[in-house]
Amino acid sequence: MPLVKCLICGNEFFIKPSHQKLGWGKYCSRGCKWKAQNKGKFIKCFICYKKVYRSPKELGRSKSGKFFCSKRCQTLWRNQTYVGDKSSQWIDGIRAYRDILKRSGKELVCALCKIKDSRVLIVHHKDHNRRNNNVLNLVWLCFNCHFLVHKHKAII
């Protein structure tokens, strides 16, 4: 049996002549074979900082240049990044006022009667212009108070 040197670590080992004819026997162990084939990197997840291995093919495939350990982390990042006018479904911001007010951190409480039941709270535009979605122009009102503001000109 011929004596062959491992291409990775340099250890000498024996190989069957029939295997050598087939092109096998270049590496002394599975570990050395893995090192030879492995050209990827360990990269930290952009959200949770967990180390994840990515192959060269996967490294070149990322459009954003960011890498994630799971679909969950990727979705968390996407939902933070593609919000508002960056969203593919954005239409003039007419329907975005509720999300804008939620993200602003304002407490979910009616500005007039101070009720905290989120099932009855809606967003009111102070200047009555639905296209003006500035956080200072938006306020939470319950259905009853919203009716009073529009029909009986109650003051906020």
54-89: pLDDT as tens digits: 888 888 888 889 999 999 999 999 988 887 777 776
- Please state the rounded mean pLDDT for residues 122-127: 92
For residue 16, pLDDT beyond 90: yes
In a domain, 99, yes or no: yes
Amino acid letter, residue 155: I
Beta strand spans in 17-150 (E): 41-44, 51-54, 121-125, 138-142
In a domain, 146, yes or no: yes
For residue 92, pLDDT beyond 80: no
Q: How many domains does the chain have?
A: 3
What separation in angstroms does the CA of 71 have from each of 43, 46, 48, 59, 61?
Answer: 16, 12, 12, 16, 15
Claim to verify: residue 46 and residue 29 sit in the same structural domain: no
Claim to verify: residue 98 and residue 118 sit in the same structural domain: yes
Claim to verify: residue 61 and residue 48 sit in the same structural domain: yes
In a domain, 45, yes or no: yes
Claim to verify: residue 16 and residue 49 sit in the same structural domain: no
The answer to whether 108 and 98 are in contact (CB under 8 A) is: no
- Please state the rounded mean pLDDT for residues 107-123: 92
In a domain, 49, yes or no: yes
- Please state the rounded mean pLDDT for residues 16-41: 88
In a domain, 86, yes or no: no
**Mean of the per-residue pLDDT values of the chain:** 88
Residue-level pLDDT at 52:
92
In a domain, 11, yes or no: yes
Q: How confident is the model at residue 152 (pLDDT cuts 50, 70, 90)?
A: confident
The answer to whether 124 and 138 are in contact (CB under 8 A) is: yes
In a domain, 87, yes or no: no
Claim to verify: residue 111 and residue 138 sit in the same structural domain: yes
In a domain, 75, yes or no: yes
Q: How confident is the model at residue 93 (pLDDT cuts 50, 70, 90)?
A: low
For residue 94, pLDDT beyond 80: no
Residue range(s) defining the domain that contains residue 64:
41-81
Structure tokens at 136: 């200072």
Cα distance between residue 79 and residue 97, in whole Å: 17
Q: How far is CA 56 from the centre of its chain?
A: 21
